[in-house]
Structure 1
């Protein structure tokens, strides 16, 4: 079973509908089903970027931005999403970034340049800990980082919240 980083863009009123569904359901099912166009599976790419930053530039501001983008804010209060129909329960329950925080993260992500990080990496690195991936991961990481930037940019433009979880 592979663990991957998941994100969903949702309107705040959708979260309230899910909260109401969970409260009225005998088993607490929030009826979570965001549109597939508003979900993103980042696989393990951002975790690897965080690993590189912590190892190569441990004081980098990008560490906090990337962590917030995938972990949400601690005061998100989406406990009603702590349900097997939402995620597999392997890691922490889903967390959320509300629209103002999403806008801040989108602005912060837009300022990140990966080139300085990659300049410090060896020319070839076999990714350790992620079976099945052989070779230099740069393009894979860049592609997924761009997906993350675009995802947050769109969420910000549409004044949406972002829910994060590992599945």
Structure 2
């Protein structure tokens, strides 16, 4: 089973309910179940975009933006989500981006010139896959794969910002 980057849009009130449930339940179960429409799985595309950006010495602010959008903030109070009900325990526990951070990230993602960022990808699938740190045998159009998932991430954050929601990130 491959690990993938996961996101969920939730309200602060939803997180408070999950926190209270974890405190009151046997096994500290947070009863985590955001609606399917408020979840996003970006596969490993964004890790590839980050790898490519770092290897081409892209703008450090862009790299920091992508890293924060994927990794969350380290100081969010979501330790109660460090539970098998939420993620499989591989890697870091889920991290939180509060509504203000989500709004900042959404605005910054809107300004990203994706075509410019992807212009330095090699033309061949094999070479483009290597440039993104993907394993040999990547099948498909790397540029399209990266663009599809980046656009989905940008829209996900845009919607979360418009709704004044938090975003929780994790690998599962």
- Residue 75 (structure 2) pairs with residue 70 (structure 1): no
Paired position in structure 2 for 1:102: 102
How much does 1:134 deviate?
2.2
How much does 1:57 deviate?
2.1
- Residue 115 (structure 2) pairs with residue 115 (structure 1): yes
Secondary structure of 2:26 counterpart = coil
Within 5 Å, which residues of 2 pair with 1:1-167? 1-126=1-126, 127-128=129-130, 129-130=134-135, 133-167=138-172
- Farther-moved stretch of structure 1 (51-60 vs 144-153): 51-60
Note the residue ranges of structure 1 that are not aligned, 5 or more in a row.
none
How much does 1:59 deviate?
4.1
Note the residue ranges of structure 2 that are not aligned, 5 or more in a row.
none
Secondary structure of 1:165 counterpart = strand
How much does 1:117 deviate?
2.3
| TM-score under structure 2 length normalisation | 0.93
How much does 1:34 deviate?
0.2
Secondary structure of 2:48 counterpart = helix
Secondary structure of 2:70 counterpart = helix
8 Å contact kept, 2:94–2:169: yes
Partners of 1:159 and 1:12 in 2: CA distance? 9
Partners of 1:28 and 1:135 in 2: CA distance? 42
8 Å contact kept, 2:11–2:164: yes
Partners of 2:152 and 2:67 in 1: CA distance? 16
How much does 1:136 deviate?
3.6
| TM-score under structure 1 length normalisation | 0.95
Summarize deviations over 1:83-137 as a string: whole Å, max 9, x none. Answer: 0000000010000000000000000111111222222221113224446522440
- Farther-moved stretch of structure 1 (109-118 vs 72-81): 109-118
Structure with the higher fraction of residues in helix conformation = 2
Q: Provide the aligned C-alpha RMSD in A.
A: 1.3
Secondary structure of 1:90 counterpart = coil
Aligned length, in residue pairs: 167
Partners of 2:118 and 2:58 in 1: CA distance? 14
